[in-house]
Chain A
Amino acid sequence: MLTVLIIGIEMLLAFLLQTTIFTHFAIGNITPNILMILACGVGYQFGRLQGMACGFFCGLLIDISSDSVLGVNALFFMLIGYLNGYLHAYYVKHDVFLPLIAIAGSEFLYSLALYVFRFLIRGNLDFVHYIGRIMLPNMLYTTVVAVLLYPLVDLVYYRIICSYHARKEENTGAL
């Protein structure tokens, strides 16, 4: 229960920072996707199901705040959270390398999906331009920010969630 609450708060914080403060750090209209860092992180730390749930709500937050159709981002984020859940099998304590690669890949997939869904079906075939101007920069910027922010997500996971579970187990053991 505490885990759900903490991840909920993290989601809200990530969303608020992304839409307000981080728009000031935009480089050439590219803003780091912090919700993606969180969704990937949760998938990696907890597994497929949890990653999926976290992704769904992250995407829903974006859907609600933008003027797009409800559910598009939710679907993409959910699939990405699910895919990242496969990496849970390779979880190593305090590892940053694997999640960073996962975040980079996920962000690329996400902007590719958005391109297909919103631009390709309207007949914009200039794929090379979009890949060079939006998808790759999006991926790079998000990954660079993830280098700083993912350890924070990891810290919250270890310091709060894991220690809480450890204590709970001790208590039940004592009983």
Chain B
Amino acid sequence: MKRPNVPKYNIDPKYILLLCTLLCLCLIFFSYKFSSIFNPVKAGLNSMLTPMQKGITTVGTSINNFFERFDNVDKLKAENEELKTTIQDLQYQNNILQQDLYDFELYKQLLELDETYSEYPKVGANIIAKDTSGYYATFTIDKGSKQGMSVDMNVLADTGLVGIITEVGTNYSIVRSIIDDNSYVSASILKTSDNCIVCGDLTLLDSGFIQIRDISINSEVKNNYKVYTSDLSEKYLPDILIGYISNIQTDADGLSKSGYLTPVVDFEHLSTVLVITQLKESPVEEEAADTTN
């Protein structure tokens, strides 16, 4: 069979390459410098792609679920037995806790504490695509500005922090997870109230850990302490569980402690997430409004 004649051009491809390279460099420069102009363009193009990604993911998941159903009967039976014993355990614990709660309410009244733990409004979303270069831990979810998402909203799964929304289109959002190498979260340790920084680290990816650092040298922190997002953070809402400390060590410079953190979220098998639709700034603004009144 005859192959198509590749048309001959008079211009050497070398010059066209040079031109296109310059074009790309300009594109990089301008999209970095003027991201406010380029982001809507990017978002517009991306909103054409996401419905397709969503469709494929939905079909893929349903096929997967169909086959898993046959696979899992034995496993589910065993799990059911296990859960039944856990329920009994928990019921017992619950009884004790309810008594404690009664005491707690009493003490609270005595102390006139009416600050309750904040419950944030949440919206569920499905993961429809993931970054594939191996370097980043970002993913796309199927809700966008149309469904009320906006940049800097916190993302949860199960009981822990997953990440933060970094980009929003009409029908999709891109989430950067806390295991991404570019992610930094201001956190605090529950028992000692020490502030610290939790940051993703690609070199620790296989071990399932992320880094925790800048803990005060005087801190009495121990392994397995719980770490929550702190009040100090600009973007993350306070009191969201991140994970448990392990392998805590004093830094070489002797000025701070650092270690590893095991996230509570299983990032390998993430398929649905919860987005907190409240931004960090809003309560501050409300308070400011209150004080001016």
Interface residues of A (CB under 8 A from B): 3, 12, 15-24, 26, 28-31, 33, 46-50, 52, 56, 61-72, 74-75, 78-79, 82, 85, 88, 111, 114-115, 118-119, 124, 126, 129-130, 133-134, 137-138, 158, 161-166, 169
Contact = CB atoms under 8 A, between A and B. Distances in A.
B32 A69 contact: yes
A16 B1 contact: no
B13 A66 contact: no
B1 A163 contact: yes
A169 B2 contact: yes
Interface string B117-140: 000000000001111111111101
B160 to A, nearest CB: 19
Given A52-B13, A66-B138, A70-B38, A166 B27 contact: no
A162 B3 contact: yes
Nearest to B31: A70
B interface residue count range (under 10 / 10 to 19 / 20 to 34 / 35 or more): 35 or more
B176 A67 contact: yes
B228 to A, nearest CB: 26
Interface in B202-220: 202-203, 205-206
B49 interface: yes
Contacts of A164: 4
A165 B64 CA distance: 41
A27 to B, nearest CB: 10
B83 interface: no
**Top 6 A-B residue pairs of the complex, sorted by shortest distance between their CB atoms:** A71-B27, A70-B31, A165-B4, A19-B129, A31-B132, A75-B24
Nearest to A24: B60
B42 A49 contact: no
29 contacts: A15-B49, A20-B57, A21-B56, A28-B206, A31-B130, A31-B132, A47-B13, A49-B16, A50-B6, A52-B20, A64-B46, A65-B140, A66-B131, A69-B28, A70-B27, A70-B31, A71-B25, A72-B28, A75-B25, A78-B17, A78-B21, A78-B24, A111-B133, A119-B181, A130-B202, A133-B206, A134-B134, A161-B4, A169-B2
